Amino acid sequence: MTLETLVEKLELKCKCCWEKLKTTEIKGGYAGDLLSDVMANSKEGSIWVTRQVHLNIVAVASLKEHAGIVIVQGATPDKDTVEKATREGVPIMVSELTEFELVGRIYQLLQNG
């Protein structure tokens, strides 16, 4: 599944790096708000679901080569976060759903190929 499909199916708001949505394939997912946990346990190509909004999430996603970040519950990423994500080419999206609901939906979509 591409990021573009994810954005369409779950009505995500994309905040930056629109040009990457079509070509970025999602290979899996990880949910977490503790950066050391995400750093140690997430895999490259994953979509990362979190409620963190500050710019350190971009460093983590970029180092781990995540497909992108989805921020939950309609939270607004900091301005610095979006700027850094644009520079580093890390797509950031926002969902209105809670972390629990969103992860369930993404998991289902990934299972159905």
Partner 1 sequence: MPSDEYLQGIYYIQGRDFVDAGIVSSEIKKSLKDKGIPESIIRRVAVITFEAEVNMISYSEQGTIQLFIEPDAITIQADDIGQGIEDIELAQQEGYSTADDSIRELGFGAGMGLANIKKYSDIFEITSNPGDGAHLKSVVKL
Q: Which is nearer to partner 1, 35 or 109 (CB)?
A: 35
Strand pairing category for 13-14 and 68-71: unpaired
Tokens of 78: 């900091």
**Does 22 engage in binding with partner 1 (CB under 8 A)?**
no
User: Is 33 among the residues that bind partner 1 (CB under 8 A)?
Assistant: yes
Interface region with partner 1, contact rule CB under 8 A, candidates 4-12, 14-22, 34-42, 104-112: 34-42
CA torsion angle 89 16 105 65 (round to 10): 10
Alpha carbons 32 and 50: distance in angstroms, whole number: 5
Q: Which residues are near partner 1 by CB under 8 A?
A: 33-37, 39-40, 44, 50, 52, 54-60, 62-64, 80
